[in-house]
Amino acid sequence: MSKNLVIVESPAKVKTIKKFLGSNYEVDASGGHVRDLPKSQLGIDIEHDYEPKYITIRGKGDILAKLRREVKKADKIYLATDPDREGEAISWHLIKALKLDEARDKKIYRISFNEITKNAVKTSLKEPRVIDMNLVDAQQARRMLDRMVGYLISPLLWTKVKRGLSAGRVQSVALRMICDREEEISSFIPEEYWNLEASLKAKGSKRKLSAKYYGTKDGRQAIHNKEELDAIVKDLEGCSYTVSEVKKGERIKRAPIPFTTSTMQQEAAKTLNFSTQKTMRLAQQLYEGVDIKGRGTVGLITYLRTDSTRVAAEADAAARAFIGEQYGNDYVSQGGQEKKTDAKIQDAHEAIRPTDITLTPVQVKESLGRDLFRLYQLIWKRFTASRMQPAVYETTSVKVAAGERLFSLSASLIKFDGFLSVYMQDEDKEEGGILTETLEKGMELGLVELVSSQHFTQPPAHFTEASLVKAMEEQGIGRPSTYAPTITTIIARRYVAKENKNLYVTELGEVVNGMMKQAFPSIVDLAFTANMEYLLDGIGDGSVQWKTVIENFYPDLAEAVKEAEDKLDAVKIADEVTEEICENCGRNMVIKYGPHGRFLACPGFPDCKNTRPYLEKIGVACPKCGKDIVLRKTKKGRKYYGCVDNPDCDFMSWQKPSKEVCPECGSMMLEKGNKLLCSDKNCGFVQAKTED
């Protein structure tokens, strides 16, 4: 009887897969990659056709030794690493590290499965294939490009900023996106507008109806200021309010498409408050297998790194049958919700879905931890909803005339809940209310009161992890496997601070981004990076040669690094002498640069180890107490402006205060890009900033 060896990536999968196979199969794990480029050098032979120099990863020697012993005993070796570019490369590296290509008496096969179920694993063994070198080369090219950017640019940052910083091909672009958004927010000038609502009553009714100001018969009209509002209110004096139009209709809300990596991360962040890293860690556990009471170890979801919304025919049919049984045939959709994707490599995958739709969240709840359960429930509900009929709303839209002016009110009522019976997002819960009154054209309404409110337009929102993932996907920056690690890296390196879900650039991040934009504009250019991703996808489908991409990229990068070394000014941050005196030894303290930004340190180190926060004065007096305003940072590194006398004085501003005072109300002015804005929102005075 022949012996078979199945090698997977994660030890967590071993138990799950072993259960599906007979005693003739041994299952073992590589623990991910076993070979990589060396950490001590670039690891790419520039002089000899850009050949990578791979070495065994430290700590993997024992794993490889064990696998070699298993290989000797086996007649057939099945490489069952993950079904993506990275997994394909790991299988190829295993062949090289275990010298399987030299073992002539062994039969080597590559198998892959999108879900860890008995049927999927057994089917893959019947459909073995050879290594897809296009996918391997796509991974090699990506790894080498990332290595080139990291190893050539990072030492330059060390030299110029004098601290251990780093650059990355995707992380530097993500940092730029956050910095660009911060600039948009910082330079945003709010614009005033007003809302006007008429509180109305139908004759004989006690209920009030709230109608919003619409405009005139010529069309919708915005109210920009108090003067316009007063003119409208004056026009309405003595007017009667009459229903001029009643429209009834139907609105269809389509079911959502199944999750991709990106949309799963976004929805988990929005509804469960999970970071992208946490979502991927939990999804990995659900994919690899969880002990379910009465069933043993079960892989609960399909592969978690995908940008495809395709669903296998078998899973689609099973979902429709389940929905028909549980909810009724009226709830089964006629066609699945999918979208086309431009990313070619991942299109071979499916969307993220439960491996068995009959394993409902209720059935597995006792077997899962709280967060695992919540993510599984989200994935299960989303997939089930994607196979269900749209929701149907009955809508009513009413126009109320008052002289030449029009007000409007609308309402909607669920006529058929469809997919909403399973999956309801926040926006679904906020649908228009029910119109309890029966309104007909020509009906007169009584005015209770007119209610006006002043508002200001809001700046673009700060990026959250979820919205950054969405923006990266839309711009073609990174791929499903890179979103979470990229965000984790820029937060870990303190280029970006995360506070209350929002991402803020730190002082350190501003320095690095500024240098990257100055010295390496193409590396942080969104279009250039998106095109590079497209080329890497092209390598994966065989339309682009990987060495061509590498040899076109490296010379330009090397030249840019050389120019930057010669021309880029060092950032003058470290060791700048100040007038601050060390209270321990009397020396003038100096400005140092640490992981969190600038701080004051005694130059007498190590004899004197005194340090203090560095508070940069900006030359503006505090409007509350008259003392200096200084640049401060939150615990996580976000910049703000506060009084030097904090905590005794609580003045703070996210915007930089100006010496100018508002000529209209006398309040402090704040810098907003090239404008100055009154700090009193009720005033709203704006003027151009004059150069000092």
Residue 489 sits in a domain whose CATH number is 1.10.460.10
What is the tens place of the pLDDT at every residue in 40-72?
999 999 999 999 999 999 999 999 999 999 999
Closest to 423 in 3D by CA, of 388, 394, 393? 388
Q: 28 and 127 share a domain?
A: yes
Write out pLDDT tens, residues 347-373: 468 999 999 999 999 999 999 999 999
101-157 pLDDT, tens digit each: 877 778 999 999 999 999 999 999 999 999 999 999 999 999 999 999 999 998 888
Q: Are residues 196 and 279 in the same domain?
A: no
Checking if the pLDDT of 565 tops 60, the result is yes
DSSP state of 469: H
Structure tokens at 125: 């063994």
271 pLDDT more than 60: yes
**Of the residues 567, 590, 624, which one is the last residue of a structural domain?**
567
State the average pLDDT over residues 177-188. Answer: 92
Last residue of a domain, one of 423, 456, 489: 456
Residue 342, SS3 per DSSP: coil
Segment 173-183 mean pLDDT:
96
| 632 compared with 213, residue with greater pLDDT | 213
Kindly report the CATH number assigned to the domain that includes residue 118: 3.40.50.140
Which amino acid type is present at position 242? T
Query: Can you tell me whether residue 144 is helix, strand or coil?
Result: helix
Tally the C-alpha atoms within 13 A of residue 528's C-alpha that lie toward its C-beta. Answer: 12
> Residue 598: pLDDT above 80?
no
In-domain check, residue 301:
yes
Give the separation between CA 594 and CA 161, rounded to whole angstroms: 11
Q: Which has the higher per-residue pLDDT, 422 or 163?
A: 422
Mean pLDDT within 431-459: 84
Whether 108 and 125 share a structural domain: yes
Arithmetic mean of pLDDT, 382-395:
95
Task: With respect to residue 574, please indicate whether it lies within any of the assigned structural domains.
Answer: no
Asked if residue 239 and residue 268 are part of one domain, the reply reads no
The answer, yes or no, to whether residue 173 has pLDDT greater than 50, is yes
Residue with the bigger pLDDT between 77 and 22: it is 77
Q: Is pLDDT at 469 greater than 50 in this prediction?
A: yes
pLDDT at 570 over 90: no
Cα gap 21→25, rounded to integer Å: 6
State whether 10 and 126 are in the same domain: yes
Q: Determine the pLDDT at residue 348.
A: 61
Do 561 and 515 sit in the same domain of this protein?
yes
Instruction: Give the mean model confidence (pLDDT) for residues 266-276.
Output: 95
Annotated catalytic residue 303: yes
- In contact, 384 and 357? CB cutoff 8 Å: yes
577 within domain boundaries:
no
The per-residue b/e assignment along 451-480, b for 16 or more CB within 10 angstroms, e otherwise, is: eeeeeeeeeeebbbbbbbbbbbbebbbbbb
Mean pLDDT of 471-489: 93
Q: Assess whether 19 and 76 both reside in one domain.
A: yes
What confidence score (pLDDT) does residue 104 get? 75
In this prediction, residue 162 carries a pLDDT of 58
pLDDT value, residue 569: 61
Instruction: Give me the percent of the chain exceeding a pLDDT of 90.
Output: 67
Question: What is the structure's pLDDT at 681?
Answer: 76
Instruction: Please report, rounded to a whole number, the percentage of residues in the chain having pLDDT higher than 70.
Output: 93
Annotated catalytic residue, options 78, 214, 303, 376: 303
Query: In the structure, what pLDDT confidence band is assigned to residue 344 with cuts at 50, 70 and 90?
Result: very low
In-domain check, residue 315: yes
Question: What's the whole-number mean pLDDT along residues 560-582?
Answer: 75
Report whether pLDDT(676) > 70. Answer: yes
Q: What is the pLDDT of residue 597?
A: 65
Which position has the token pair 């640019």?
Answer: 153
For residue 540, name the pLDDT band (cuts at 50, 70, 90): very high
Phi and psi, residue 620, nearest 5°: -130, 140
pLDDT of residue 430: 57
pLDDT for the residue numbered 683: 81
Same domain (yes/no): 248, 395: yes
Strand 25-29 vs strand 4-8: parallel, antiparallel, or unpaired? parallel
Q: Has residue 309 been placed in a domain?
A: yes
- Of 456, 490, 513, which one is at a domain's C-terminal end? 456
Establish if 594 belongs to a structural domain.
no
Number of domains into which the chain is organized: 5
Claim to verify: residue 395 and residue 248 sit in the same structural domain: yes
CATH of the domain at 324: 1.10.290.10
Do 381 and 275 fall within a single domain? yes
Give the model confidence (pLDDT) of 220-262 as tens digits. Answer: 999 999 999 999 999 999 999 999 999 999 999 999 999 999 9
- The winner for highest mean pLDDT among 200-214, 325-339, 593-607 is 200-214
How many CB atoms are located within 10 Å of the residue 278 CB?
18
Q: Domain range spanning residue 677? A: 655-692
pLDDT, mean of residues 165-179: 93
Which residues neighbour 103 within 8 Å (Cβ) at sequence distance 6 or greater? 71
| Contact assessment for residue 174 and residue 468, using Cβ atoms and an 8 Å cutoff | yes
Q: How far is CA 672 from CA 180, 359, 374, 667, 675, in A?
A: 14, 54, 42, 15, 5
- SS3 at position 36: strand
Residue 666 banded pLDDT, cuts 50, 70, 90? confident
* Whether residues 11 and 91 fall in one domain: yes
The residues, any chain, with a CB within 8 Å of residue 450's CB and separated by 6 or more, are 196, 197, 198, 199, 233, 236
406, 372: one domain: no
The angle subtended at Cα 690 by Cα 689 and Cα 692, nearest 5°, is: 125
Q: What pLDDT score was predicted for residue 435?
A: 67
- Packed helices 526-540 and 133-161: angle between N→C axes, nearest 10 degrees: 150
